Structure 1
Amino acid sequence: MCQPEPALPPLPAALRAHLRDDAARYRDDAAGTPGAAPRGVLAPRSAEEAAEILCLLQEAGLAAVVQGGRTGLSGGARVQPGELVLSTERLTAPPRIDAVAGTMTVGAGVVLEAAQQAARAAGLYLAADLGARGSATLGGMAATNAGGPLALRYGTFRQQVLGVEGVLPDGTIVRRLGGLYKDNSGLDLSQYLVGSEGILGLVTRLVLRLHPAPAARRVAVCALDGAAEALALLPALRAGLGPDLQACELMIDPLLAETCAARGLRSPFAEPAPAVLLLEVAGTDPEACGARLEAVLETALEAGRIRDAVLSASEADCLRLWGLREGCSQFLFQNVGPITSLDLSLPLAAIPAFLAEAEGLCAGRARPYVFGHLGDGNLHYVLACPPDAAPTDEIFALTARHGGAITAEHGIGADKLRWLPLCRDAAEIAAMARLKRAVDPGWILNPGRILPRPFPQTPEARP
């Protein structure tokens, strides 16, 4: 006989005073799986208000899931039964730029595109970009250590964070907003929160590193014979373009051809290519930047390393060529039926063998579409099939055998929790649980993300 679900603790009156209406729209994230109806939505305006809310949650034993722009693909922001939502949507302190230091202090609920525009208006550059720039929030990007195409040159979002104001699940406020480039005075608690997917605390404000704004950029798309040829080209690209190379995006046939056909985009090549590489260079000297790219591609063409290449001649061309790459994501989510989106990180040298073996695993079961950030080994391996029919176990196990990780930039969340042991050993997972328990004794913030809910205590871990 099924046991009835235990009754949920009542909401304290002090907590009800913080609740917002219209809770239903907060159920899920971009992964698409429906979430439960939240018990309510809490949206603090400051770190102090967030601390008060978290203390009330701990006292009442109530669980909450942190939400930013809900653009993640691992179920990290999806509401689980009985949870409240703790939203950053009111943490919108506008960007404050220190042009001398090259920093931006900004609220966690501000969307990436607004921060990019603020940096641009000051003649500076925020070195982070995503297709979801209009809805992804900076706090969410910090919590998931977001990647994207610019990670090749500038690193992931972690490298853009100089300081954080955050609230631990027990209500402790951690405030490191000095923006110092060098500070070895103890543990860096800011970086402790970056990449923690909300299980260790709520980010409320950030200090971000800014860079000199590039004077110009050039974009090229290259037709190649396959992923192995694209990887073989990388050393020449790095040697010839140096730090000006800031994006190196791979699209495997038939993804680009089908994207162009379905979305009415103009294909850059007369004949489909087995693989297409999109390159972006940017620098302070427009003429030198473009000349280096042209020289590298001319040499590659003469050596037979690439079949063909198309270069931008204007900013409009840059946008059009990037539209091909971003159109691939739109095509998969809007024009293909049920999909299972896997976000893999692989050693560069292992990519060709992985692709060949993974195609064999998918044969007769799912049609794979492959694209990603080649320069840093991040492949988006998207299967045209429902999640319950996808060979996810086999693909993740293959990734691990090649020395990779089952997520490169979307995190573990709730959806990939059971596969975490493929890329983290038991000692690491237990250490994560001890950290979680130390700052969240009630296990109330983002439970069931990264770690099981509740994580079993070993005798050694008990006080």
Structure 2
Amino acid sequence: MAAVLDALRDVLGSGGLKTGDDIPRKNFGDASSAKPHAPLALLLPRSTEEVSRCLAICNTFNQRLVLQGGMTGLAGGANPQEDEIALSLERMVGVEEIDRDSATLTALAGTPLAVIQSAAEEAGFMCGIDLGARGSCTIGGNVATNAGGNQVYRYGMTRRNVLGLEVVLADGRIVRSLNKMMKNNAGYDWTQLFIGSEGTLGVVTRVVIPLHPRSSGLASALCGIDTFSDALTVLRRFDSRFPGRLLVFEAMWREYMDIAIDRSGLAQPFGERHEITLLVEATMGDDAGGEEAFTETLAELIEQGVIKDALIAQSGSDRNRFWAYREANYEFDRVLPKGSHFDVSVPLSRMAEAVDLLRQRSRGRWPNSVLIVYGHVADSNIHLSLFDAGYDETVGQEMNAVVYGIISDVGGTVSAEHGIGFLKRPYLAMSRTAPELDLMRVIKQALDPNGILNSGRILAPA
């Protein structure tokens, strides 16, 4: 260990390598429930070249690394293990270029998403990636986990918002394609391989993202409906009337709203409670006719009995009030007992069935448990939590088996937007076939034969 640390210190200097009590607690664990642990050392490179030299040294010594970004992950992927050195990109920060003609932005991987969003807005554009952790998550972490978020239905996952990458391989080789073009069909698009790989194949150090025109004429509504079938009717109606304009389509099932109102203290939005509450937002343009068309579509759906109640935002404060319901889940851990949290996707055609099964089996196994279901829905993604006063590690494992079993039965996936990491690795085979897993192992072996990068994340260590 002394030899590898000495070699790394020669590259980074004393300030770029921390050990013992000098390692900040924030580098012990991410935002997941995985047990935090101090790394053997913390590496803080300032450039791609330093990352390259560090990886080459670690590869030579067969020293395992855990890669760290903003530490906002929920799958345990950034938590150090006993034999790992942490490599953090927190010093590799900055928007290096905004190319207005190409409508692209190039940034170092450690740059917080909020910084990128702000730079895009100042240049008259917008970034298509947006998620709740925008202030602390990094663009490199977004790429590594293929992050989702609030605007996926319109702008897609992070994968659809990457044009070029710079990556350092396990042996220190730098592979660079800072492409700015929408069309580049010259051979394999190797960049896509690293998006969503959770740091197991290489270290993303630079990212080129496409920029979009700023949205205008944002219209927001909160709607109460009785069935998921009605939710799909609302979704398809807005899609057909206003193609490409639907920005947000969030759903909160009855139990979720009960907790938000009865435990978290939010005001009841309607005269009665409904099976599902929808938060709908669309960009209707600057023309006054756009807002009128949005309102008319809602009125038509109310007249047809699809929507039972609706509120339309008349101001920014109204919109913030609507979003307070969707973001109430961040406080649920404070007002409810401990529980397990899930990020899954379900085919829309089987969403109602999945929620019914979740209710039936959770109540049958844990009669006093609280199940909440909410999520982005239009892109098939729901989040759910199962709380119980008797929760412990054993109960948590039982909950995982029940929930992931249901998701598998309805043809869903155990991970929608938070990755696999350590926590979901035991359940990956529920969503991927044996040949797919074999192919993943072949790719891992080819790019990281010594298994030094994020070992045990996604796949069991060799």
Spell out the pairing of 1:36-435 with structure 2 (5 A cutoff): 36-328=37-329, 330-363=330-363, 364-365=365-366, 366-385=369-388, 386=391, 388-390=394-396, 391-435=399-443
Distance 1:60 1:196, change over 3 A: same
Q: For 1:203, what is the secondary structure of its paired residue?
A: strand
Aligned to 2:4: 11
- Alignment check: 8 A CA contact 1:217 1:289 kept: no
In 1, Cα distance between equivalents of 2:417 and 2:293: 30
Q: Deviations over 1:163-217 (max 9, x none)?
A: 0111111211111113111111111122111111110111111011110001221
Q: Residue type of the partner of 1:380? A: H
- Alignment check: 8 A CA contact 1:354 1:398 kept: yes
Q: Gaps spanning 5+ residues in structure 1: where?
A: 1-7, 455-463
- Alignment check: 8 A CA contact 1:281 1:289 kept: no
Q: 4+ residue stretches of structure 1 with deviation over 4 A?
A: none
Q: For 1:11, what is the secondary structure of its paired residue?
A: helix
In 1, Cα distance between equivalents of 2:275 and 2:410: 23
Distance 1:9 1:404, change over 3 A: farther
Q: Which moved more, 1:100-109 or 1:16-25?
A: 16-25
Q: Residue type of the partner of 1:356? A: D
Q: Deviations over 1:388-414 (max 9, x none)?
A: 314211221221121110000001111
1:246 CA displacement: 1.1
Q: Residue type of the partner of 1:398? A: I
In 2, Cα distance between equivalents of 1:10 and 1:410: 36
1:220 CA displacement: 0.6
Identity %: 36
1:256 CA displacement: 2.2
1:10 CA displacement: 5.7
In 1, Cα distance between equivalents of 2:295 and 2:5: 65
Q: For 2:252, what is the secondary structure of its paired residue?
A: strand
- Alignment check: 8 A CA contact 2:4 2:57 kept: no
- Using the size of structure 1 for normalisation, the TM-score is 0.93
Q: For 1:61, what is the secondary structure of its paired residue?
A: coil
Of residues 442, 445, 459, the one that matches 1:437 is: 445
Distance 1:260 1:121, change over 3 A: farther
Q: Residue type of the partner of 1:280? A: E
Q: Gaps spanning 5+ residues in structure 2: where?
A: none
- Using the size of structure 2 for normalisation, the TM-score is 0.93
1:82 CA displacement: 1.4
Q: Deviations over 1:372-397 (max 9, x none)?
A: 01101101011114453142112212
Q: Deviations over 1:119-175 (max 9, x none)?
A: 111111101111111111111011111111200011111111010111111211111
Q: For 2:439, what is the secondary structure of its paired residue?
A: helix
Q: For 2:459, what is the secondary structure of its paired residue?
A: coil
- Alignment check: 8 A CA contact 1:215 1:286 kept: no
1:334 CA displacement: 3.5
Distance 1:444 1:247, change over 3 A: same
Q: Residue type of the partner of 1:166? A: V
Q: Residue type of the partner of 2:385? A: V
Distance 1:36 1:10, change over 3 A: farther
Q: Residue type of the partner of 2:243? A: G
Q: Deviations over 1:342-367 (max 9, x none)?
A: 11111101000111111111114232
1:333 CA displacement: 3.6
